[in-house]
Structure 1
Amino acid sequence: MPEWVEVITRTLAAVVVLFALTRLLGKRQISQLSFFEYITGITIGDLAATISLDVKGTWYLGIISLSVWVLVSLGIEFLQLKSKKARDFIDSKSTVLIKDGKILEDNLKKERLTNEELLEQLRGKDVFKAAEVEFAIMEPNGEINVLLKKQNQPLTPTHLGIQVAPETESQTVILDGKVMDEPLATRGLNRRWIHTELEKIGVSLDNVYIGQVDAYGQLYVDLFDDKIKVPEPQQKATLYADLKKCQADLEMFGLSTDRLEAKTMYGQCSMQLEQVISDVKPLLTR
């Protein structure tokens, strides 16, 4: 067999074996790596390249070596699952780099991290002042996670004591001009609804690149033709305006009548509707 044919054959075989062994190792091997996983990844890649090009060597010995490395890696992962001491020894522990806004220089030196590198990592987390940080911790995989001080954290409905309903994920109902029936049925909708909504905004189905329905049943589309500007759905804005108009009408009816009972009734209804508007405003105006 010519050497170039043998190289092609070995390379294809190495790809298949490497793919199978990587699937066996799991997704963790292709995520952010620990020390041992980093070494394992480099070694397995080097062995696969050697199997492909070393035509004078015995190919099955490379496969045996690959298998041994994979088994060792699986054994290490199993040991880490069973023992915290093993995890701490193999992956090391997390290191606190900032505490109460104070940078811990000794821990930076321990991790061989300069102050400029730390600031760069903080900027990657949208933090530009170390004094705003409550804790900054370097994880065993080298990633730095940051917790801001309370006064510097973004304001959320929880901070204001407001309860909001859970929001379901958006469903993609149109892809490349074709209706996706399964996600459409998940929302309790049908093709007739799709065509009605597209008619409202003056868009044909075959011009829709992606169409998504949000948790409130509104259709958002991105078109193949980027020059066409698609109007934003206005159902929520219209509903909010209608509620405000009804509340204003109730107040006006209460002011225009001379009957005490009617005035009281209109006033109570206006106050109740005002409370409803206040409750649904975050959902209708965002």
Structure 2
Amino acid sequence: MEVWNGSEDLPIYGFIIRATIIYVYIFMVVKILGQRSMVSFHPIDFIFAVIIGDVVGEPLSSGDIALGGPLAAASFIAGLHLTLSYLALKNARIRRIVEAEPIIIINKGHILVDEMRKAKITVESLMMDLRLNQASDLTEIDYAILEPNGQISVIKKSKYDSLTPNDMMKVPPEKGYPSVLILEGKINYANLEKLGLTTAWLQEQAESHGFESIKEIFLLTMDDRSKRIFVSGQTMRDIV
């Protein structure tokens, strides 16, 4: 009970157990909240992460603090965060309050200084983000937008866009989804069955790429449309 209630003389194994409990708890919270909090890091997600880290982190450093209170507070905050996210998803008015609106920094090739100041973006920071978007030449940019997650997206002028097959009146074959058939020498039977293939076919592919056994293959994938195969061995000498 002293692991849960806390003690000034909490032994080392007590901290280890506490760390395990909090890790499992945070893992479950992230699973419940979904991938949005990790992939698209909005300001509300940042606030949630900071508060949760502070609340559940203190019992790990102070053995005399009980776990019940911090975990209950963290659960309430997680529930509040999930509720706000759900309401923002369902209601446009709440979404405008909870989530920031995109801010146009460059409009039709012209830098909007007032919007830059509003977003607290310096010229150096803007230039860095443009370089990261492969848009270092300002004359090629039509629009630059500061997105709600803090990243800057760039739309180039049409004449500077990359040429596509559609521009050349070409219709290339459709690209499919690469399915993993072998990973670290082990066969993915679910994908094999989905594509209507057999282990005998896999063995033939392994031999045709210079492998004696399937176990020598680190990764083998096949595109479900073009049927193109990628094979890589377990060692550098086996890479195809």
Q: 1:108 and 1:196, CA in 2 relative to 1: closer, same or farther beyond 3 A?
A: same
Q: CA deviation at 1:132?
A: 0.8
CA contact (8 A) 2:174 2:226 kept: no
Q: For residue 28 of structure 1, what is the aligned residue in structure 2?
A: 36
Q: Could you tell me how far apart the structure 2 residues matched to 1:178 and 1:62 are?
A: 43
Q: Could you tell me how far apart the structure 2 residues matched to 1:110 and 1:23 are?
A: 35
SS for the counterpart of 1:227 is helix
Q: For residue 162 of structure 2, what is the aligned residue in structure 1?
A: 154
Q: CA deviation at 1:80?
A: 1.2
Q: Return the match for 1:120 from 105, 123, 128.
A: 128
Of the structure 1 ranges 213-222 and 133-142, higher mean CA displacement relative to structure 2 is found in 213-222
Q: For residue 64 of structure 1, what is the aligned residue in structure 2?
A: 72
Q: Could you tell me how far apart the structure 2 residues matched to 1:67 and 1:197 are?
A: 51
Q: Could you tell me how far apart the structure 1 residues matched to 2:76 and 2:186 are?
A: 49
SS for the counterpart of 2:53 is helix
Of the structure 1 ranges 15-24 and 111-120, higher mean CA displacement relative to structure 2 is found in 15-24
Q: CA deviation at 1:94?
A: 0.5
Q: For residue 104 of structure 1, what is the aligned residue in structure 2?
A: 112
Q: For residue 82 of structure 1, what is the aligned residue in structure 2?
A: 90
Q: Return the match for 1:7 from 1, 15, 18.
A: 15
Q: Could you tell me how far apart the structure 2 residues matched to 1:53 and 1:130 are?
A: 50
Q: CA deviation at 1:109?
A: 1.1
Q: CA deviation at 1:229?
A: 6.3
SS for the counterpart of 1:33 is coil
TM-score, length-scaled by structure 1: 0.72
Deviations 1:80-130 (A, max 9, x none): 123322222222211001122222121111111111111111111111212
CA contact (8 A) 1:170 1:213 kept: yes
Q: For residue 219 of structure 1, what is the aligned residue in structure 2?
A: 229
Q: For residue 185 of structure 1, what is the aligned residue in structure 2?
A: 193
Consecutive unaligned residues of structure 2, counting only runs of 5 or more, are: 3-8
Q: 1:201 and 1:152, CA in 2 relative to 1: closer, same or farther beyond 3 A?
A: same
SS for the counterpart of 1:45 is helix
- Aligned pair count reads 230
Q: Could you tell me how far apart the structure 1 residues matched to 2:62 and 2:56 are?
A: 10
Q: Could you tell me how far apart the structure 1 residues matched to 2:193 and 2:53 are?
A: 45
TM-score, length-scaled by structure 2: 0.84
Q: 1:65 and 1:218, CA in 2 relative to 1: closer, same or farther beyond 3 A?
A: closer
Instruction: Give me the CA root mean square deviation.
Output: 2.3
Q: For residue 210 of structure 1, what is the aligned residue in structure 2?
A: 219
Q: Could you tell me how far apart the structure 1 residues matched to 2:90 and 2:187 are?
A: 48
Q: For residue 81 of structure 2, what is the aligned residue in structure 1?
A: 73
Q: 1:60 and 1:164, CA in 2 relative to 1: closer, same or farther beyond 3 A?
A: same
Q: Could you tell me how far apart the structure 2 residues matched to 1:201 and 1:151 are?
A: 43
CA contact (8 A) 1:102 1:131 kept: no
Q: Could you tell me how far apart the structure 1 residues matched to 2:140 and 2:101 are?
A: 24
Q: 1:208 and 1:102, CA in 2 relative to 1: closer, same or farther beyond 3 A?
A: same
CA contact (8 A) 2:181 2:192 kept: yes
Deviations 1:213-256 (A, max 9, x none): 233334331122323564xxxxxxxxxxxxxxxxxxxxxxxxxx
Give the percent of matched residue pairs that are identical in Structure 1 and Structure 2. Answer: 23
Point out which structure has higher relative CO (alpha carbons under 8 A, 6+ apart): 2
Aligned residue type for 1:161: M
Consecutive unaligned residues of structure 1, counting only runs of 5 or more, are: 231-286
CA contact (8 A) 2:222 2:228 kept: yes
